[in-house]
Amino acid sequence: FEALDLLSASQVAQLAAQSGALNNADLIRLVFDRLDGDNALQDVGEFLTALLRTSQALDINPVVRDIMMNRAFAILSLHFEDFESHDWVSWFTVKLVSLLPSLTAEMLQRVTSYTDCDAYHVIVGALSSVFEQMTSLRQQELTPVLLGYLKQRRASGSTCSTNSSNLSTYLWACFGKFSIYVDYEDLRGLIEGFGSFEALDLLSASQVAQLAAQSGALNNADLIRLVFDRLDGDNALQDVGEFLTALLRTSQVCSRFGHQSCGERHHDESGLRHPQPPF
């Protein structure tokens, strides 16, 4: 690493990939010391792009990845104010994708403070693409930031809807895979028509329980079959257990405060609600 100053950003990426720097905190700090110069934004972008070319499945130590994300974000965030649509796409769906599992809630808060709705949807999609690589704690930490952004947009009279009338598409655009951590009542408050059964596949078992209790599914054979079709997947035992436990909690609330507190809704003869465009 003695000749780092003489190498281009692309060459530094090749050196990092071949030298073991992606698993060595001290070496990766040297790499970013080299990149953090007069042309830092361009060099970091070139470095990350070249790194992806060396291997589409980069094996980066989580501690090293955190360092890389912190250093890259410190450089990148200085330019958010000047970002255009293509910049959000380029950085968050390509250049940063291998580092996104290390994005913190504080970083996401800063990102969303500069995004319009189109850029927000790009960010949600990018984060959802690495959802399984994040820890459960990180997933849960990021979700309130997404929810807060949408609530703020709604309060200001600006919506982040999509052109689709499909409820699942709306929910995916708003939260992606993070929807399972959003409180059911928040989802209902943000998305009109959310009480329908179109988006079952994007709900957690607990959210499905709340929907079942409030939609009349407990008195409708067709709807309850849809519920169990959703639960009967790869994690069926866990999901059914979570569903029944959440259903008991919902039932206790309903019995304490009366049937109407369960949010009974009007249905047509099929028992299905017709979704309305959200927001």
Q: 207-223: per-residue pLDDT in tens?
A: 899 889 888 889 999 99
pLDDT of residue 267: 39
CB 65 within 8 A of CB 99: yes
For residue 266, give both structure tokens.
């009007």
| Structure tokens given for 89 | 């796409």
The confidence score (pLDDT) of residue 279 equals: 41
Six-digit token string for 69: 């994300």
pLDDT at residue number 251: 63
Side-chain-side CA neighbours of 72 within 13 Å: the count stands at 27
**What residue type is 53 in one-letter code?**
R
pLDDT for position 115 = 95
Residue among 118, 84, 263, 265 nearest 184 (CA): 263
Positive or negative, the Cα torsion across 251, 256, 258, 264? negative
* DSSP-derived secondary structure for 100-144: GGG--HHHHHHHHTS--HHHHHHHHHHHHHTGGGS-HHHHHHHHH
- Stretches where the chain sits below pLDDT 70 are 56-57, 159, 161-165, 193-196, 251-279
Contact assessment for residue 227 and residue 212, using Cβ atoms and an 8 Å cutoff? yes
pLDDT (0 to 100) of residue 254: 59
Is residue 72 a contact partner of residue 104, using CB atoms and an 8 Å limit? no
pTM of the model: 0.81
The reported pLDDT for the residue numbered 47 is 96
